[in-house]
Structure 1
């Protein structure tokens, strides 16, 4: 009897702990493509259907970056995909009319950074290409990626050498702004080279 009560208690506890999932609000790529330069923050939130998840204000030029979360749309099919596992094209899913068959579902949380200058959208930066990028350069009211490759074109070895109005923002492996000792977050004492793409 004690074992049954213990088993029942553990089952109830597990079910209760799985009853709620905490997650931020998400938008979709279909809505993201509707965001256009010149929109206000309320226009963007209305278009995306969600409020911003985080807000970053750049004291140097007064620009603002709003962070929104979105997920990628996929589809679930009724087929088991055995033929495809063996490297054989499934004739049903190889037909053009069946390319969009299946129920929609969303996965892979992503982030998009919307840059506002004077209260209007000036540009967007998504998580895409984040693995090929190490830093963001805020220059002339635009956000640009600073890539790990091609650093020979131009190098800053100290953040103090950045011109007025430029800031370097480091992204961590999740795409969040990472605090560091240079540029956007204060003076730098460490040397670091980084590639700057045109402005």
Structure 2
């Protein structure tokens, strides 16, 4: 029995001192001090550990040194989460092991460039973002963001595209003496949107008239001389495709363009009878020139007034909402 107890104690001692082999790690705050042009020795001194691995690129006369690094965190009691105490203090921990790859010239042994695992995964999006920021840097004179310049303002100012929904009410009477009610989608492309105070944009909408199909009962004689009752479609707008080019100053927008419209001519659903509509311009396809005055609220809600230059009853007032900004 004594021997068994002794063996258990020895086994426990070995298990308690068992170790796991892991690489040495550096940290983000040390990587932040690294810059191109430094030598291998300088970087090794800054990171505090030697490289973990090395790759030679004979064709390009360079080599890549690899270091492991972790992100610094701090552990706090769960009851302190979302409190001021969670901003600092606690136990320092290092998590999320990743690699950094540094390319050195074989000629002068100096750093050419470096990137991380996350950089490889997000390279395309980072390159695109870098090009956008470079364009901003090259046009500093045109950038004039006023007011509360938070992150959302900056991100919005770099976004060319807007997508959303739009509702429009006709201000002029349609052939039935009422107002057209249209609903659909809208798209807006802003040229150089980072010039937040002044910009140009191209806009288009696809709208469907909710009261576009109206019927009018009529009596007609057929080939046999018998009287038949048919329902004629009233002369109405069915689909409207407004398109503009606009100049934007701050939240205001003024533009010019045209409404490409599709209407119906008054074709009977029951017999082969057609009747030309009384309202000129509502039959089949037609386009009317318009002026647009709009106000963009927080770059998300757009309120628009359209003035019809042709007199074809296309004056309207509408409101829209952009899902992305």
Normalised by the length of structure 2, the TM-score is: 0.34
**Larger RCO of the pair (alpha carbons < 8 Å, separation 6+):** 1
Written as runs of structure 1 = structure 2, the 5 A alignment for 1:148-163 is none
Q: Secondary structure at the match of 1:123?
A: strand
- CA shift, 1:8, in A, is 2.0
Matched residues in 2 for 1:7 and 1:68: separation?
A: 41
Are positions 1:101 and 2:102 aligned together? no
Deviation at 1:95, TM superposition (A): 3.9
Whether the 8 Å CA contact 1:29–1:70 is kept in 2: the answer is: yes
RMSD: 2.4
Q: Does 1:10 align with 2:11?
A: yes
- The answer for unaligned runs of 5 or more in structure 1 is 82-91, 134-144, 148-199
Bigger Rg, structure 1 or 2: 2
Once the two structures are superposed, residues 137-190 of structure 1 have per-residue CA deviations (whole angstroms, 9 ceiling, x without a partner) of xxxxxxxx589xxxxxxxxxxxxxxxxxxxxxxxxxxxxxxxxxxxxxxxxxxx
**In 1, Cα distance between equivalents of 2:16 and 2:91:** 27
Give deviations 1:99-122, integer Å, cap 9, x for gaps: 123121112221110011242211
Question: Could you tell me how far apart the structure 2 residues matched to 1:100 and 1:45 are?
Answer: 29
The 1:11/1:96 distance shift into structure 2, 3 A limit, reads closer
Matches within 5 A, 1:132-147: 132=121
Q: 1:109 to 1:98 in 2, by over 3 A?
A: closer
Q: Which residue of 2 aligns with 1:142?
A: none
Point out the more displaced range, 95-104 or 113-122: 95-104
Q: What secondary structure sits across from 2:118 in the alignment?
A: coil
In structure 1, distance between residues paired with 2:74 and 2:55: 34
Aligned residues: 122
The answer to which structure has the higher strand fraction is 2
Whether 1:59 aligns to 2:47 is no
How far does residue 51 in structure 1 lie from its aligned partner after superposition?
A: 1.1
Is 1:72–1:106's contact at 8 Å kept on the other side of the alignment?
yes
- Post-superposition shift, 1:15? 2.5
* Superposition map of 1:2-41 within 5 A: 2-16=3-17, 18=18, 20-41=19-40
